[in-house]
Amino acid sequence: MVKISVTAGDADIDYDGSAAEIEEMLALLRQDDSWSIMIERLKVAKAATLQATNDTAKQAGLSKRGSAFNVLIESCSLKRKPDQVLGAIHYLREIEKVIDSPPRAINQLFQDAGMESPGNLSLYLNRLRERSFLIIPDGSEDKNRFAVLSDEGRAHLDKRSTK
């Protein structure tokens, strides 16, 4: 049994059945533009949410960088400090394209977001490595400042964002 349910404004899609039945229903939606309308409404809602978040961050005195990191933390529901540190590494590597992130860079990201810094960052990084969420690339002198998310770390963040 498969179920798909999407609501965007006054448009509502709620189907259940076999995978083949759902695929057939979605194909019909695509033919009459219902799906395109739904996707467009979701894009508009996402843009409005991001704009409101940025406006609120500006009013609170947060930098654009801090605001963007806050959006990541909120959208992935990263409540626990280890998850936030994992999110910070992800943000620095994937968004800012930073290769070397010493503890001061990670702590600065938290400060820019108006969040409490992790404190003993080495402890968090080592535990994330033990859980196989972070890896140190070869040739990086086995230093935490070069840590990147492993496939397991990415999957963990993805799982957090769907809760």
Residues 6 or more apart in contact with residue 4 via CB below 8 angstroms: 13, 14, 15, 16, 22, 26
Q: Rg of the chain's alpha carbons, rounded to an integer?
A: 20
The pLDDT tens digits of the residues spanning 63-88 come to: 678 888 888 888 888 999 999 999 99
Q: What angle do CA 117, 52, 97 make, to 5 degrees?
A: 50
Pick the residue with more confidence: 29 or 128? 128
Q: Buried b / exposed e across 42-73, counting CB within 10 Å, b at 16+?
A: eeeeeeeeeeebbeebeeeebeebbbbbbbbb
- CB distance 66 to 112 below 8 Å: yes
pLDDT > 60? residue 60: no
**Terminal CA-CA length for the chain:** 21
- For residue 137, which phi and psi values (nearest 5 degrees)? -60, 150
- Residue 149, SS3? strand
Structure confidence at residue 89 (pLDDT) = 94
**What is the value of pTM for the model shown?**
0.62
Structure confidence at residue 95 (pLDDT) = 86
Task: Report the C-alpha gap between 31 and 29 in whole angstroms.
Answer: 5
Q: Which CATH fold would you assign to the domain 64-161? A: Arc Repressor Mutant, subunit A (1.10.10)
The domain spans of the chain are 2-59, 64-161
